[in-house]
Amino acid sequence: MNNSETNIEIPSQGVGRENILKEINVLAKDDPDFKNGRTWGLVYYAGDEHSAFLKEVHAQFSSQNALNPTAFKSLKTMENEVIRMTANLFHGDEEVVGTMTSGGTESIMMAVKTYRDRARKLKPWIRNPEIIAPASVHVAFDKACKYFDVKLIHAPLKNDFTVDIKAVKKKIGFNTILLVGSAPQYPHGVVDDIKALSDLGLKKKIPVHVDACLGGFLLPFLEKGGVDIPLFDYRLPGVTSISADLHKYGFTAKGASTITYRSMQYLKHQFFVYENWPGGIFASPAMLGTRSGGPIAAAWATLKAIGQDGYIKSSLEILETTKKLMSAINAIPEMKVIGKPVACVFAYTTTDPKLNIYAIADRLNEKGWHVDRNQRPESLHAMVTIAHKEHIDEFVDAIKEAVDYVKANPEKSKEGNAAMYGMIAKIPLRGMIKSSVLKMMQQMYSAKGTMPDEEELDPNSMEALTQRLGMQAIEVKEQLDGIVSNIKSKLKF
């Protein structure tokens, strides 16, 4: 069935299950091969045996609903134990509390909602609450602040890509309700100076949230394995909450994260209760109402099955694999790793600005490698997992081939995704970028559900603009920037 058709209906008669399973396999045939390390994000695969275990546990609880904790008490017991294990992992005391969520975005949204409502209760004179976070903080904070009408103030980064603490201090004002740091942050894999943020939060009497969605179930085990990891958890007295995803380096089934707080004095502001609904008194601990028991049970089972010894072993293997890959990339004359990543996540780019990193990404995609693209600075992104251990040499060879290919075919920098991403990264009119992406979203979620590469381009879209102009607009901008820079230097600005 063509997914671009708009007259799709529920079949009048049920289709045989064997035929449906065959159709699913057809639909998935072009998906990235994550089992063989071909994806550098999105999937955290711990092997076929663990995957089969997850499926068995998840299936057993897929129909149970955690909406009412007094009904399926087994799920509430498992959620409680997951939170206790998480709190202890982060060196929290018996006062640390929290909830499971569907993922990092929900955990972050709950943190923003909690601190907004806490400020409303304790500081009612704050009418326009503000949160200060690094420019590198996960975009879920921008999303949450947009949803909950909180102003997000981005603090600049230092040359090492960690947040500039002095800049954070200067941005604190009358309306500040929260400071945020990452452990590690997504774009470059570095850990912000959480200790400095903690000290600043204590001094200014402002809560501090640590986004450890990425590293929460990796960094503690590296530390237990003897690796020097910057402090980021409840050992720092100014840290009041931590978000940490189970479905990343905890290797649980998708749809499992945690949000913990230093005490109930914070968590109580996350809860929602409505007492006047005709359907009964309604209460929920987080964003969702209905919550499938599958992810909760799978998370509980995974933590117990892998155990601390298993997590320490896997985290050290991932770190070793990451170091091997970064060293190999740095050994390619045209390539370099950006900054000083702490563990499993890093960004890499070209040593020659004229060698287009996005064209290299296009070539890697053509060869079956799914790589993500960063901007500011223009670079590629890697999240290393157990699945990559046996495929590092193969990937490095692919990068070398891509470099040689782009050098031999420089016109590739002005074609396809390379040209589009190059323009998006450099064009100064960011509203134009947002408008183009919104149009793309509308196209993908229209009745036809057409992917951007499946239909003739909108002549006014960013992609069409790129195809018409190539990199001419960017080249003109760069020439103008050079002229302005030259004038400034002569005038000693």
Task: Give me the CATH number covering residue 266.
Answer: 3.40.640.10
User: Length of the chain, please?
Assistant: 493
Question: Rounded to whole angstroms, how far apart are CA atoms 41 and 22?
Answer: 27
**In this structure, are residues 343 and 362 in contact, taking their beta carbons and an 8 Å threshold?**
no
Question: Rounded to whole angstroms, how far apart are CA atoms 347 and 313?
Answer: 24
Boundary (domain end) residue, out of 283, 303, 323: 303
Verify that 85 and 232 share a domain, yes or no: yes
Mean pLDDT of 196-217: 98
Which two three-digit tokens encode residue 177? Answer: 């309700």
| pLDDT at residue number 469 | 45
Q: How many CB atoms lie within 10 A of CB 401?
A: 14
100, part of any domain: yes
Distances in Å between the alpha carbon of 13 and those of 9, 10, 16?
A: 11, 8, 9
Distances in Å between the alpha carbon of 184 and those of 17, 102, 119, 138, 487?
A: 44, 20, 27, 10, 40
Q: Is the dihedral of CA 367, 412, 461, 138 positive or negative?
A: positive
Residue with tokens 């960017």: 474
Boundary (domain end) residue, out of 285, 303, 321: 303
Which of 43-52, 95-104, 191-200, 220-229 has the weakest average pLDDT?
43-52
Q: How confident is the model at residue 425 (pLDDT cuts 50, 70, 90)?
A: low
Q: What is the pLDDT of residues 20-52, one digit of tens each?
A: 999 999 999 988 889 888 888 888 998 999 999
Give the structural domain span for 145.
59-303
Distances in Å between the alpha carbon of 346 and those of 148, 185, 295, 343?
A: 31, 10, 28, 8
Verify that 297 and 429 share a domain, yes or no: no
Q: What is the pLDDT of residues 268-298, one digit of tens each?
A: 999 999 899 999 888 899 999 999 999 999 9
> String of b and e for 378-390 (b: at least 16 CB within 10 Å)?
bbbbbbbbbbbee
41, part of any domain: no
Q: What is the pLDDT of residues 49-63, one digit of tens each?
A: 999 999 999 999 999
162, part of any domain: yes
Mean pLDDT of 217-242: 98
pLDDT(471) > 90: no
15, part of any domain: no
318, part of any domain: no
Number of domains, the chain: 2
